[in-house]
Amino acid sequence: MHRRGFLVAGLAAALSGSRALAQMKMDGMPDMDMGDHAGHDMGAMAQAPAALPEGETLRQLPLLANEAGRPGLFKARLTAEAAKARFVEDRDTPILAYNGTSPGPLIEAYEGDRVEITFANRIAGEQSTIHWHGMPVPADQDGNPMDPVAAGADRVYAFELPEGSAGSYWYHPHPHGRTAEQVYRGLAGAFVVKAKADPVPAAYGDTVLMFTDLRLAADGTMPDNTMIDMMNGRVGDHVLVNGQKNPKLALAAGAKRRLRLYNATNARFLRLAFANATMTVIGSDGGLLEAPVAADEILLSPAERIELVVAFDQPGTATLTTLDYDRGWMGPGRPADAGLTLLTVDVSDTPAEAMPPLPERLRPIAPLGGPTVNRRLVFTETMAMNPTGMEMGFLINGKAFDMGRVDIVARAGETELWEIVNQADMDHPFHLHGTQFQVVERERGGHVAKPPYLAWKDTVNVARGETVRLLTRQERPGARMYHCHILEHEQLGMMGLVDVRA
Ligand code: C2O
Ligand code: CU
Ligand code: CU
């Protein structure tokens, strides 16, 4: 039997009763509750999700205050702990938060700054770390699963932000086996490194839009991950922007805004378009492009970021909406991807003050060339029924992650060509720690395509059946992770370790 067919048949049988479901067992998920809640969770998927208020004024993310008191240093404290959020009236939702808020506070620092952040892990009974996603920080400061911070403990993360590193990064936990859950419970925040000389007009503002994905049970709690979540990655019922559902923004006609879009969901692919406003892409994960590029739609896979300038020239209502995207959903419960309104902008008739134009050139990007090493990473999914249940594997080069194993040995300062081959049945967004890479081409069904523009990336979607070739160079020695950024897949083993040597 074809492997995909096998899976779906197995699932159909399993889903016919919660008892059968409860008997299913998956390796690598010791913490997953497959007993009492499993049937309830499956039932909840068929129900209409709890309604959330919409149309509140878009809130700015709270800024993390710099306590350094002198230029060139950013010093602060981030405490991860249990908190309560009010998503629906009269009901508190227990969440995890950094400094009491989810998304966590926005960190803004400048190129050239030194950063010293004391992380206090106050999550009861769970280790955690803070990983600085996309940032060029030393390996021992990067919150690897090998460097856990125990419950109740503090540690200082310290690093310098090199010149030229301005970009839209983020931070989130990365403890072994608990990343997916700590993130969907609320731990993620944006880290914007600002350029000393920024070519984008200040009149456009600078707004982070952080997308998260909330699933809320009728009693206001966040249900645990189900089997379907582990397989596809957890997709919620509500896509939130800065913690709000479809918030509202009021602008004058002719306004231009600089927006940094973050996909901080565990597993939701966001194919986005603006109705009644025009989008220009100006930046990717690792900062500005060489030149602005007009776009009708964008695809933001989990963990990717994009910087846009959006022009609101038509009075009336402009909306940011989702389009359908088929990323190879397995089993029942494929979420409705299309037609969600994520943000509503009321554009008044009163004309905005004249906006300065966007420059034609933003910054140079030197192409990484001349790889000295070629590597091939093959993504596969395996599943097998055995007498105790279904076992699934999310593998890279046939192996599940092992903290004690070095998968690749690389040299600092050398350019490498990595070929990421997706032989699995669903898309997997590939992410590499410690550096930014350049995609050079994508191949699918014998067709090879160059990317539309040169960009610094740390996460790239590799569609099922696709091969993505990228150039990468690690500047510093140490252990770096690479993995699928569907966090449940990372947790189930789709991760490896590259040891960069001096
Ligand atoms: Cu954002 Cu290893 O992850
Ligand atoms: Cu990362
Ligand atoms: Cu994946």
Task: Kindly report, residue by residue over 278-302, the tens digit of the pLDDT.
Answer: 999 999 999 999 999 999 999 999 9
| Ligand 1 pocket check for 480: Cβ under 6 Å | no
From CA 444, how far away is CA 345, in angstroms rounded?
Answer: 38
| Ligand 1 pocket check for 238: Cβ under 6 Å | no
- pLDDT over 80 at 468, yes or no: yes
pLDDT-derived band at 163 (thresholds 50, 70, 90) equals very high
From CA 270, how far away is CA 283, in angstroms rounded?
Answer: 17
Q: Where are the beta strands (DSSP E) in 303-456?
A: 305-312, 316-323, 341-351, 373-386, 389-396, 408-411, 415-422, 428-432, 438-444, 447-449
Whole-number Å distance, alpha carbon 478 to ligand 2 midpoint, is 14
Whole-number Å distance, alpha carbon 12 to ligand 2 midpoint, is 35
| Ligand 1 pocket check for 174: Cβ under 6 Å | yes
CA distances from 462 to 313, 371, 379, 428, 449 (A): 35, 21, 9, 5, 13
- pLDDT over 60 at 29, yes or no: no
The whole-chain average pLDDT of the chain stands at 91
Please give the number of the atom of ligand 1 that sits closest to the Cα of 433: 2
Q: Is 121 exposed, middle or buried (0-12, 13-18, 19+ CB in 10 A)?
A: buried
| Ligand 1 pocket check for 489: Cβ under 6 Å | no
Instruction: State mean pLDDT over 2-25.
Output: 37
* More confidently predicted of 51 and 165: 165
Per-residue model confidence (pLDDT) at position 49: 64
- pLDDT over 50 at 465, yes or no: yes
| Ligand 1 pocket check for 424: Cβ under 6 Å | no
Weakest mean pLDDT among 34-38, 59-63, 77-81: 34-38
Per-residue model confidence (pLDDT) at position 392: 82
Please give the number of the atom of ligand 1 that sits closest to the Cα of 303: 1
**Phi, psi of 100, rounded to the nearest 5 degrees:** 85, -5
| Ligand 1 pocket check for 258: Cβ under 6 Å | no
Instruction: State mean pLDDT over 92-100.
Output: 98
Cβ neighbours, 10 Å, residue 57: 10
- pLDDT over 60 at 35, yes or no: no
- pLDDT over 60 at 84, yes or no: yes
Question: Which residues lie at CB < 5 A from ion ligand 3?
Answer: 428, 484, 486, 489
Whole-number Å distance, alpha carbon 144 to ligand 2 midpoint, is 9
Q: Which bound ligand lies closest to the C-alpha atom of 264?
A: 1
| Ligand 1 pocket check for 481: Cβ under 6 Å | yes
Residue type, 174: H
Per-residue model confidence (pLDDT) at position 333: 87
Per-residue model confidence (pLDDT) at position 48: 56
| Ligand 1 pocket check for 305: Cβ under 6 Å | no
pTM of the model as a whole: 0.91
Q: Which bound ligand lies closest to the C-alpha atom of 175?
A: 1
